[in-house]
Amino acid sequence: MPLLDFLRPKKRSEPGPRKDMPEEVRRVVKLLEMVNDPETGLNIVEEGLVYGLTVEGKRVEVFLLMARSTPECHFCQMLAMNVQRKILGEIVSILKAEGFNTVKVYNELGLLLAEG
């Protein structure tokens, strides 16, 4: 075993939600995989933006890790805000279309970013 092998991410055998999650959580994760980051083209689950999820009946709370880019650059901030707004809008519309009555999206600090 090479010295730094423990730092390499473990490869999962199959894509998609883990099998040890409750069925309703797996369903929401599959739906969130339809939301793409417009900058990278990757879905938000694959990109690692989703770090928490609560599903209770027809109510969903999604917790996102929305990293800030270069706080000194106002243009970068505007781009980041537009990307974030697009991602949040897609999350709410996809989950509402699937029949969830209440959708709340929070950032890593627990602040409510979007609600539907």
What is residue 28's predicted lDDT score, i.e. its pLDDT? 94
**How many domains, the chain?**
1
Which residues are within 8 A (CB) of 74 and not within 5 positions of it... i.e. 6 or more apart? none
CATH of the domain at 55: 3.30.300
The model carries a pTM of 0.76
- 1 domain residue, yes or no: no
- Axis crossing angle, helix 23-32 with helix 74-97, rounded to the nearest 10: 130
What is residue 16's predicted lDDT score, i.e. its pLDDT? 56
- State which residues form the domain around 89: 28-110
Distance from C-alpha of 111 to C-alpha of 16, rounded to nearest angstrom: 27
Give the pLDDT of the chain (116 residues) as one tens digit per residue. 455 565 565 555 555 556 778 899 999 999 999 999 888 889 999 988 898 999 999 999 999 987 655 567 666 677 777 888 899 999 999 999 999 999 999 988 888 888 98
